[in-house]
Structures are given as structure tokens and as C-alpha cells.
Structure 1
Amino acid sequence: MGKNNDRNKINRWYKWLTPGIFVKRWLITSLFGVLFTLLGLAIWVKLTPINRLIEFLIDFLNRITNIIPSYISGPLAFFIGIFLLYWGQTRTFGSITDVLQPENDQELIDVLWNRRQRNKGMKIVAIGGGTGLSTLLRGIKKYSGNITAVVTVADDGGSSGILRRELGVLPPGDIRNCIAALANEETLLTELFQYRFRDGEGLKNHSFGNLFLTAMTDITHDLEKGIAASAKVLAITGRVLPATLDNVVLWAKYADGSVVHGESQIPEKGDKIIDFGCTPQAPKAVPSVLKAIEQAEYIILGPGSLYTSVIPNLLVPEIRRAIARSSAPKIYVCNIMTQPGETDGYTVADHIRAIDTICGVKLFDAVLVQGRQPSSQALRIYADEKSHPVFLDREEVKKLGRRIVKGNVMNENPDNFCIRHDPDLLSKTLIRWYHHKPQYKFWDNN
């Protein structure tokens, strides 16, 4: 235990000495400021005895060395000075930490280090919606603070759907989840943002965050400004942007010729989708989204429901054109399981074809697929719900010109065998591929 504490202290000192914290330079600047201030005052008031003061100090030091030898008095004075400097700075930073983080055990240098390191991270644009995008953000924020989450605003079910119908606002649900996922700490404020009312006429099933975002949008008269204000409350890493500010309604055409309108109604049909789009036909992109894509160093699509979370963002013509123009590495995170009523029987290549058909152009370079199969218990439970693992048809994927990134990015809940992407495994695999991408046409991270 003692050795660990010593190591932590050494590590903290190393961090203080490392360039890029922007603290040491200002301490040294302050020291020079004190010296110049005293010198300036002495000159200003014509303090001619300043030479006498210097002579007095020299005489005083000579007397000390006559009494105590210089090889003792010198080191003694030196170490007393170092001790006072250390004590003063430690107490100064301790006081700052107590004020800024009264309930946080993390050292101030660790907070500064983590924040500076994240802010130096690559510019990542993550595009999607639903729980898939928020899962990705929860993990990827550990590698960069320059994250822009582009979120679909086509949701018309649940609390978001009610607010959309009754108040005419864009659905805030997916945006709320992404803001909460990017929050720096799982604080009480974050829990409040995600809190869902269980009772109360008119309030039941509404989340506090949805109501808060709706109120902020009404106050600022702009969803983007409302999101920014909400993000400041939670001190999030990165930013969250809606794909469009238009009132988008999704539609899907099926093999039997029928057409269904509304995001929440599309999975209910249970037939093969042969065409997909939205009203209005060409919604306008948010300008800051286009700028983020233009400046991106890494673009990630998904994970999330293919037709109701990922593709809706690509129905905005300016967004898909901006992605196509970007020279940044682009990867699509394929779902682990098929989604009943939406991607029944789909393989990895089918997911890619669906995106290519909508966009009319090849948007991404590689596809990330889950390597290890879920447990037999999970497979049985999902089979009862007509959901199965997405099959990797390698040859078809290669014909579509995509590199295959295979990795274990799955989390299986041991209690209910629920299968989801794991935030840490997913983000680690994505970052690792980004750094090694030139070396691999097929990459297996298992």
C-alpha cells in the first residue's frame, strides 16, 4: 500500500513537470512579476539606499558564514527555501482543489492532466442515435475531448413523441442520452437529467432531461442553443448536435407495396423494407455539423438501429456529401444482433448495401463486426424474439470494397443475457484500428 502511494506521488510530480499543463509557466511568470514590481517601486520612489540594502545583505551573509561554515549554511538555506516553496504551493493547490472539487477525491493535477490530454485528442465525429450512439460516446470520450455527436431527430415514440406532437418541438430523447453519456462524471445532476417520472397525470413516462431540453429550446428559440446550454450544466466532454432542425418524418416502403410513416411504426410492420426515405425529402443540415465533418480526423457511423438511428442522419443530403468528401478514416459499427421488423435475416453485407443504396456512394472504408458468438442461453432467448447474430459474409463484404475489422466488442448481461456493445471494448477497438489502419485489409482484434 505504501509503495503504491509513493508511486502515485512520484507520478503526480512527473505530471506537474510535464509540459502542457499550463501551470508552471504562470508560476514562474508570477515570480518574475513580484521581483520586477519590487524593483520598480524601489526605482520609482528613488530608493537610493537599495545599494546599501544589498551591501547589508552581503555583510549579513558574510557574518553567518563566519559563524556557520558555508558548506552547512548554504545547503541549509537552500533546503529551507525549497521546503517553504513546496509547502506554499501544496497548500495553494490544496485550497483550490477543496473549493473546485469539495466532494471529489481526485487530485487537482490528475484533473488538469486528464482534461489537457483529452483536449489534445483527435477530432472525432460520431453519427447515429438511440442507445447505440450513447454507448459509443461513453467509451470514446476517454480518448478525446474533441468529439462531435451528430444525432438523428426523427424519433416519434415515447416521451419524445408526446413532446413532438403536443409542443411541436424536435424530439429530445436521443440528444438527452448522448449529453448524459458525455458527462464527465456520473453525478447526481446526470442522474437527474436521466430521471423518468413514474407517476403523475401528464408527467408519467416523461424524462426530466426531455422536459429540460424542451424548456431550454423554448427559452433560446433554437434547439442547438438549447442543447449547448444543457451541455454546460452537465459539463460534458465534446458536443452534441442535431443532424437537422427540420421536422423530419421517416417512411418505409415494404415488399407488399405498403408504406408506413413514423419512426416508431416502422419496426411494427414486420416485412422486408425495399425503399426508405423521409419527409421533407431533402432536410437541411445544421451548419456546425458540416463544419465538424469537414474538420474531422475520424468518422464513426453507428452502432444503432440501421433504419431508425443510423440511416436517418444520412437522409440529409449535405451530411452524406460532406462525409463522402472527407479524407478522414471512416468506419461503420455493425449491429451484433438482427433487429426484428427492421433487419430480419440481414447479414453484414446487407447492412452495408442498405447504407450504400440510400447514399448512392461509398461512405465508409471499413466495417467493425463482433467476433465471438453470444452464449447459447442468450441465443435461445433472442431466437424466441426472432433475433439472431448478424452473419459475417466475408466475401460479399470484400466485394463491396470494405475492410473487415473483427473484435470482441460485446457485453452480455449475466442476469438477463441482454446483448449490447461494451463502451470500453468498442472504443478501444476503434481507436486501435485508427492507429493501425494502414497495415490491415482484414484485422482481427480478438
Structure 2
Amino acid sequence: MSIGLFELTFVREQTSKRVNRWFKWLAPGLLVKRWLLISITGVFLAGLGISIWIGLTPIYRILSGISDLLGTITRIIPNYISGPLALAIGIFLLFWGQTRTVGSIAEVLKPENNEELVDMLLAHRRLNRGPRIVTVGGGTGLSTLLRGLKEYSANITAIVTVADDGGSSGRLRREIGVLPPGDIRNCVAALADEEKLLTELFQYRFSAGDGLSGHSFGNLFLTAMSDITGDLEQAIAASSKVLAVRGRVLPATLSDVRLWADLEDGRHIEGESNISDAGGKICAVGCIPSTPPALPAAIKAIEEADYIIIGPGSLYTSVIPNLLVPGIRSAIARSTAPRIYVCNIMTQPGETEGYSVSDHIRAIDEICGRRLFDAVVVHGRVPTAQALIRYAQENSHPVFLDREDVTRLGRRIVLANIMHEDPESGYVRHDPQRLAKVLFRWYGGTRGFKFQGFEDS
């Protein structure tokens, strides 16, 4: 008896799931209902056209035969039973045929996972209706942000600095003369659909081999694509198609930019990798050439943006280098879209030692000579004692929120718990999902609506 009940429950559950899956195909925005109706109308008109073309004679005989058949059926089975029964069978056959057709297509198109094709199409429609977002930054901070944003919109443009001159990127820049691909590599991997596998592949570093040791596969891949396509912009576009990237990544400029910084002790430091290693307080920062031309596609993306996000990332070596490009900062300043800055959680030795939230804002305002954003996202909780001790050993501390100074600078404070702390290493980072939710909650508030697909946690 219990086995019979179990089987009955199982059958009901499977039937319910199948029915729900069928009805998903009629969900708003999937554009299935209209095409189904058009298909049925097309079949009817095609049949009518054939009848008219051949002189209508056969259609009278067909209609007469159908009339006689229906009369016979209603004499045997009353019309209040036979009518609904025939209607139900017709609808069932129609949906069954459509389902089998879609199922055949799905076997070819659907990837090797358990996600239903209808769910994939619904997600695709939702993401493509998302706001046009422009993010400005570099380093691991920007790639972390992108991992969260891509769950809410596919219309993302990441504008990335090309001032890196250390590690694998620096070697390729010096030896081959290409623009540094490191930060771009991280962003492309973060926006890819198969992010986990691609991240592992793109971050893979060769540990042996003459000339290969220390290089990452992603850097070599983008360098090769740059040589094949002619420039970094085309290389990124081609790579994004191959890797099914959700959004796009653009360099701020195609110029060979070299950063410099003047320190409080009078030293003049050149090279992005040398600035943070110099260990002094930065008084001024700039680049060579002093006015690199902005990438036209980046300017256009900013002008068309619905939402602009600056940071997170190293203040002087990831965020500000983008703003040293006059065209980029001017386009952001002109934009009427909501603009927000994501402040770092911890200070960075050699760059922002002792900096508060307002110090980060002032540094950006002084470089740009104007106000570029309306609000600032600040983490609202203190890391654990273990993390604080670990960071204190490196002369790094939580960025202090000086509310009054930030308010005097005319910025709205968005305070939230957006931190992820690695229990093993003690490192703290922005949590991609939490940060994205906070950013979209604020964006929805500025636009007076709740963003589709957003759920509060």
C-alpha cells in the first residue's frame, strides 16, 4: 500500500513539473505566445489560400463531410461532452507537438547541464533587458564586482586601465610591445558564462619553460589575439565571442600609458608597479603621455550608460589611471546617469595608508577637478580580530568612515555589509553577490522602481 502511494505521489510530482515547464513557455517576455499564434494563423490562411486557389469546390465537400461527421458524433455523444473533449484533445496535441519540437531543438542547443532550455531563455531575456552599466577600474576589485553584476544585466561595459607594468603583463609589455593584458584578462574571465573553468584556465601560470615561466595563459592568449586582429580592442572583442562573455571589456585607451607619482618626501616615481613599492605618501599622480586619447567605444558606452560604477580597486594604480584619460573623466562628468563609487574595505600600503573614506573621495575629485559621482558604497562592519591582526602586520587597516566629511563633500553614504572574509587566509574582499544587490537596490531607488530579477536577501 505504501509503495503504491509513493508511486502515485512520484507520478503526480513529475506531472506537475512537466505542466509547470509547459506553462513557462507562455511566460511574459519569452515571445513564444505571439509566434505560436502567428504559426496557427499561418496554417489557417495557407489552407484558406489553397482552397480559394483551386476554386473552392473541394472545401464545400470537406465542410459537408465534417458537418455530417459532427452530426453523427453529437447523436452518439452529447455536444456538451464531445465539444470540450475535442477541444481538450486539440489543445493537448498542439502543445505536445510544440513541446516535442522544442525538445528536439533543445537537445542540440542545450549545454550539458540540468538547466531547462526555457529557464535559460527566460534568464537570457531578463539579462538583456537589464540596464546599461559602465564600470570603471581595474585589478581584482573590478573583476570581483563584475561577477555579481552579470547576474542582473548582460549590458555591462567594463572600462579597464592599461597602466600595469608588473608581472607577466609587464614582461609582455616590455618584450613584445603590447598593452598589458592582465586586468583585462581578469575581467573577461569574470564575465564569461563558464567562469570557474575559464578563470582557472586564464589564471594558469606556467612554472617551467624558457620564456614561459611566470606567464599566465590568459595573458598569452590575449597577446596572440592582439597580434592576429591588429589591436587590443579587436582582440578583446574576438576573445569575448569565443568565450561567451556576458557584456564587454574595453581598455580606457590604446596608448602606451606609463604612470608616475610624486611623493611627500620629494621623490618622483615612474611605473605602476613601483609606486606602491616606494612606500611613501602620494601627493600627485599623472601619466605619460599626459593626455592619452580615450577609446571611442568607451566614450560612447559612458554616454549611453544608465548606471556608472567607479571602483573598487587600488585607488592610485587601478581606479585613478582610467580617470587620467581626459575623455573618460569628461564623459563621466557629463553623464546624467546615477554614478556611484565603491570604496575599498582596507587601506593599501604604499597608496592609501591612513586614508578615510573622504580621503579617497578627495583624491578622485582633485585628480579630475570636478565631482564625478553622487554616492559612495562603504562596508559597515569591522573584520574579525584574526583579519585585523593579519592586516596590521602589513600596515593595513579598515578604511574609516568619516560621515561628516563625506556629507560635506556632497556624497550620499550607502552603508552595507558587502564583505567576504576568507577564514583560512584572513584576506577580506568585496562579496560579489552582496555588492551587486546593494548597487542595484540603490539604482532602483534613484529610478523609483525595484529592478526585475532583484530579490533582497
- Give TM-score, length-normalised by structure 2: 0.92
Deviations 1:199-237 (A, max 9, x none): 222222222221121111111112111111111112111
Residue 442 of structure 1 corresponds to none
Q: What stretches of structure 2 of length at least 5 have no aligned partner?
A: 1-8, 449-455
| Alpha-carbon distance between aligned partners in 2 of 1:197 and 1:59, rounded to the nearest angstrom | 81
Query: Letter of the aligned partner of 1:290 in structure 2?
Result: I
| Alpha-carbon distance between aligned partners in 2 of 1:324 and 1:26, rounded to the nearest angstrom | 44
Pick from 427, 436, 445 the counterpart of residue 445 of structure 2.
436
Residue 81 of structure 1 corresponds to 90
Residue 225 of structure 2 corresponds to 216
Matches within 5 A, 1:373-392: 373-392=382-401
Helix, strand or coil at the partner of 2:259: strand
Query: Letter of the aligned partner of 1:150 in structure 2?
Result: I
- 8 Å Cα contact 1:178/1:240 also seen in 2: yes
Worse-matched range after superposition: 302-311 or 93-102: 93-102
Query: Letter of the aligned partner of 1:207 in structure 2?
Result: S
Deviations 1:85-107 (A, max 9, x none): 22212222222222112412111
- 8 Å Cα contact 1:231/1:239 also seen in 2: yes
| Alpha-carbon distance between aligned partners in 2 of 1:356 and 1:160, rounded to the nearest angstrom | 29
Helix, strand or coil at the partner of 1:126: strand
Deviations 1:231-273 (A, max 9, x none): 1112111111110010100001111211111111111100001
| Alpha-carbon distance between aligned partners in 1 of 2:311 and 2:144, rounded to the nearest angstrom | 10
The reply to whether residue 277 of structure 1 matches residue 286 of structure 2 is yes
Shift of 1:13: 4.8
- 8 Å Cα contact 2:51/2:58 also seen in 1: no
Query: Letter of the aligned partner of 1:291 in structure 2?
Result: K
Residue 453 of structure 2 corresponds to none
- 8 Å Cα contact 1:132/1:304 also seen in 2: yes
Residue 327 of structure 1 corresponds to 336
Residue 198 of structure 1 corresponds to 207
Pick from 184, 189, 198 the counterpart of residue 175 of structure 1.
184
Residue 110 of structure 1 corresponds to 119
Helix, strand or coil at the partner of 2:195: coil
- 8 Å Cα contact 1:190/1:234 also seen in 2: no
The reply to whether residue 350 of structure 1 matches residue 359 of structure 2 is yes
Distance 1:393 1:233, change over 3 A: same
Residue 4 of structure 2 corresponds to none
- 8 Å Cα contact 2:287/2:324 also seen in 1: yes
Helix, strand or coil at the partner of 2:399: coil
Worse-matched range after superposition: 200-209 or 343-352: 200-209
- 8 Å Cα contact 2:422/2:428 also seen in 1: yes
The reply to whether residue 125 of structure 1 matches residue 134 of structure 2 is yes
Pick from 316, 326, 330 the counterpart of residue 307 of structure 1.
316
Pick from 29, 32, 42 the counterpart of residue 23 of structure 1.
32
Deviations 1:358-381 (A, max 9, x none): 101011111111100000011001
CA-based RMSD of the aligned residues comes to 2.1
Deviations 1:271-291 (A, max 9, x none): 001110000000001111111
Residue 90 of structure 1 corresponds to 99
Deviations 1:135-177 (A, max 9, x none): 0000011111111111001111111111111111111111111
Distance 1:305 1:98, change over 3 A: same
Query: Letter of the aligned partner of 2:63 in structure 1?
Result: I
Worse-matched range after superposition: 366-375 or 15-24: 15-24
Distance 1:224 1:83, change over 3 A: same
Residue 263 of structure 2 corresponds to 254
- 8 Å Cα contact 2:22/2:99 also seen in 1: no
Residue 305 of structure 2 corresponds to 296
Worse-matched range after superposition: 55-64 or 125-134: 55-64
| Alpha-carbon distance between aligned partners in 2 of 1:61 and 1:174, rounded to the nearest angstrom | 72
Shift of 1:346: 0.9
Matches within 5 A, 1:2-81: 12-13=21-22, 15-46=24-55, 48-81=57-90
Distance 1:403 1:163, change over 3 A: same
Shift of 1:190: 5.2
The reply to whether residue 225 of structure 1 matches residue 234 of structure 2 is yes
- Give TM-score, length-normalised by structure 1: 0.94
The reply to whether residue 158 of structure 1 matches residue 167 of structure 2 is yes
- 8 Å Cα contact 1:253/1:273 also seen in 2: yes
Shift of 1:189: 4.8
Distance 1:94 1:193, change over 3 A: farther
The reply to whether residue 135 of structure 1 matches residue 144 of structure 2 is yes
Worse-matched range after superposition: 49-58 or 317-326: 49-58
Residue 406 of structure 1 corresponds to 415
Worse-matched range after superposition: 243-252 or 209-218: 209-218
| Alpha-carbon distance between aligned partners in 2 of 1:162 and 1:235, rounded to the nearest angstrom | 28
Distance 1:436 1:385, change over 3 A: same
| Alpha-carbon distance between aligned partners in 1 of 2:381 and 2:420, rounded to the nearest angstrom | 11
Residue 365 of structure 1 corresponds to 374
Worse-matched range after superposition: 312-321 or 182-191: 182-191
Shift of 1:196: 2.6
